[in-house]
Amino acid sequence: MSAEIRIREAAVEDVPLVLGMIRGLAEYEKLSHQVTATEEKLRDTLFGPRPGADVLLAYQNHDCVGFALFFPNYSTFLAMPGIFLEDLYVKPEWRRKGIGGALLGRVARIALERGCGRLEWEVLDWNEPSIGFYKSLGAVPMDEWTKYRVTGDALEKLADYLKTR
């Protein structure tokens, strides 16, 4: 690697870059059809009055080559805050150059600085390169847990749960 990896916090003017990274990740994960994010929505939800997440951008030379998006969570068992890493993405031509590790390392440093007890993320079960990378860092899979999700109509229905009883 000829130049140093630089990582910085994203700013509102970086919204187009962030959206491009999200689209790149979705394409890699074969989930492009699920992306409804727009620059306007990202501007409002990441840099508005109640930011929903933090974003880091990784640079090599003058190129933005990767990003990490994360937000706080809480462990009742530990009685400590934590961080959930929602997205970690490095452009294909920049992989295997330490950029993903640098981004993860920065998120881990932020977790420690914020007094967090853990850093968690998810990976698609077919993504063997990432799984191998995460295991090499000491991450352990949480195979005994099943994730559940409600969106759209199911979320609306759940929000009205008491009204239907």
Domains defined along the chain, listed by start: 5-164 (3.40.630.30)
Task: Compute the average pLDDT of residues 95-108.
Answer: 96
Closest CA to 130 of 80, 87, 161: 87
Instruction: State pTM to two decimals.
Output: 0.91
Name the average pLDDT for the chain: 95
Cβ atoms 132, 99 nearer than 8 A:
no
Active-site annotation holder among 28, 89, 134, 148? 134
Closest CA to 90 of 24, 26, 32: 24
| pLDDT tens digit sequence for 70-99 | 999 999 999 999 999 999 999 999 999 999
Catalytic (active site) residue 134: yes
Q: Take residue 113 and report the two structure tokens written for it.
A: 């600085």
Given this model, what pLDDT does residue 163 score? Answer: 84
| pLDDT tens digit sequence for 12-48 | 999 999 999 999 999 999 999 999 999 999 999 999 9
DSSP letter, residue 159: H
DSSP letter, residue 3: S
Model confidence at 141, pLDDT cuts 50, 70, 90, reads very high
Burial 139-162 (b: 16+ CB within 10 A, else e): eeeeeeeeeeeeeeeeeeeeeeee
The answer on pLDDT for 1 being more than 70 is no
Cβ atoms 55, 14 nearer than 8 A:
yes
Place of tokens 């853990």: 118
Closest CA to 82 of 158, 142, 22: 142
Q: Decide the pairing of beta strands 118-121 and 80-90.
A: parallel
